[in-house]
Amino acid sequence: MTPPITPITLTNKVALVTGASSGIGHATALALAQQGADLVVTARREDRLRDLCTQIESLGRKAVYYAGDAALESTAHQVTLLALNTFGHLDILINNAGIGSYKNLIDTSAEDYDTLMNANMRSGFLFSRHAAPHMIAQHAGTILFISSVAGLQGIAGESVYSASKFAQVGFAQALDAELRKHNIKVGAICPGGVKSEFGLGRGRTEEFIRNSHMMDPAEVATAIVFACLQPPNVRIPQLTVRHMG
């Protein structure tokens, strides 16, 4: 008879979440803390990070923050050092930082392209590059990229956004093949529309978001935590999350 699988928790695990000041990142940090993880959170808005750490500590977990641009290598370096100096190890990396952009090609400038690719893809590359050596050394870790359904199928009016999200999926697939021998799990979470500040001012309005069937960030966070709670011999390379609308 097969013995029952021991329930997985994140107690004593350390998770790093980028883009944690709002939306999916904020909700994911809280959801991870509820499962027992300690948190390192980063984004550009320090006041929100400070409030988030207070909420995490109210759940009985430890939390530290670093305010900075996730697309800068100095930020990735300093945040990783903060995690290691504070907790001594890093177990989970959630590459969530990014922006939305919903424009037709002819309305998209080269500057728009660079901004989007830096925020969505360069940030994930940098944080993974700085976290991976430590996970390799401890022979364990989980790296998740918060991509999008736009990274699975190109969408009209979202060509550059889709390109950045396809890049995240491809990067995650390649890292999965590269890092699995080190017992590191790598995956891409691909949600549909989410009710957050993500796309405001870049093609979406508050009214559009409010009246839509899009998901609450906490609902997506549940799926992200699910991917972090798999047994040691199980990984989720890719997970699509859609609303019921």
Domains and CATH numbers, the chain: 16-241 (3.40.50.720)
**pLDDT tops 90 at residue 170:** yes
Q: What whole-number distance in Å separates Cα of residue 98 and Cα of residue 81? A: 22
Q: What whole-number distance in Å separates Cα of residue 227 and Cα of residue 209? A: 27
pTM: 0.93
113 is catalytic: no
Query: pLDDT digit string (tens) for 99-112?
Result: 998 899 999 999 99
Q: What single-letter DSSP state applies at residue 214?
A: P
Query: pLDDT digit string (tens) for 194-226?
Result: 987 766 555 556 666 666 778 999 999 999 999
**pLDDT tops 90 at residue 186:** yes
Residue 227: strand, helix, or coil? helix
Q: Which strands, in side-by-side order, build the sheet including 38-43?
A: 63-67, 38-43, 14-18, 92-95, 141-146, 184-191, 238-241
Q: Which of 66, 102, 113, 161 is catalytic?
A: 161
